[in-house]
Chains A and B, each alone.
Chain A
Amino acid sequence: KQEVTQIPAALSVPEGENLVLNCSFTDSAIYNLQWFRQDPGKGLTSLLLIQSSQREQTSGRLNASLDKSSGRSTLYIAASQPGDSATYLCAVSEGASKIIFGSGTRLSIRP
């Protein structure tokens, strides 16, 4: 059974730092991996989608990598800003009806 883990559960860093969020999964037979951002009381906003055949995706200050063999994905945020404060979730897809979410990392950027 696929399990998705995000460690740490919470992270606080000063503004301007580059940081890495981690996502690990137990079964490498995935179709894609998606990173989301969730603000308090809001829905999930898609940040990056990496297909199983891809190694990384970039959007602005965000870069996500995927290593299926080791069951790991990282989300790199460059030059962090207070507006980046949110909970970040990763989700692994084993098919359109089988999407497993991690519990998220709550990120706080200190001004």
Chain B
Amino acid sequence: DGGITQSPKYLFRKEGQNVTLSCEQNLNHDAMYWYRQDPGQGLRLIYYSQIVNDFQKGDIAEGYSVSREKKESFPLTVTSAQKNPTAFYLCASSIWASGSYTGELFFGEGSRLTVL
């Protein structure tokens, strides 16, 4: 079945460590996104990518990094510079379109990161 796979589902990190969250999609979508979700808040955009080898910062990119070497993969690294990394992280993808049409957004199951 087509979809978005995030791993790991749960991750624990010690302070000072970098961790990488995986996101893979087989929907053949051009655009991929990383969002952060905190309790009681809406989703906030960390990074997005429209095409391979290109990505843009979102609203809360500080302390995070990404790469887009393949169309189907968009890993997120949470660095030690991120002051409050404990959160639920969601990866999404959509068809990239221009003009007045944008595609439906599909999400993975999420990764919960806890800093010890």
- Chain A residues packing against B (C-beta within 8 Å): 4, 31-32, 34, 36, 41-46, 49, 51-53, 89, 91, 93, 95-97, 99-104
Contacts and interface: CB of A to CB of B under 8 A. Distances in A.
Contact of A97 (B6, B48, B110, B112): B48
B109 interface: yes
Contact of B42 (A41, A45, A97, A101): A101
Contacts of B31: 96-97
A34 to B, nearest CB: 6
B41 A41 contact: no
B109 A101 contact: no
Nearest to B10: A41
Interface residues of B, number: 30
Contact of A99 (B40, B45, B106, B110): B45
A55 to B, nearest CB: 16
Contact of B107 (A41, A44, A53, A97): A44
B26 to A, nearest CB: 16
A1 to B, nearest CB: 11
Given A96-B96, A97-B48, A43 B108 contact: yes
B80 interface: no
B28 to A, nearest CB: 16
Given A34-B104, A103-B41, 13 more contacts: A31-B101, A32-B101, A32-B102, A41-B110, A41-B112, A44-B90, A46-B106, A89-B42, A91-B105, A96-B97, A97-B48, A97-B50, A101-B43
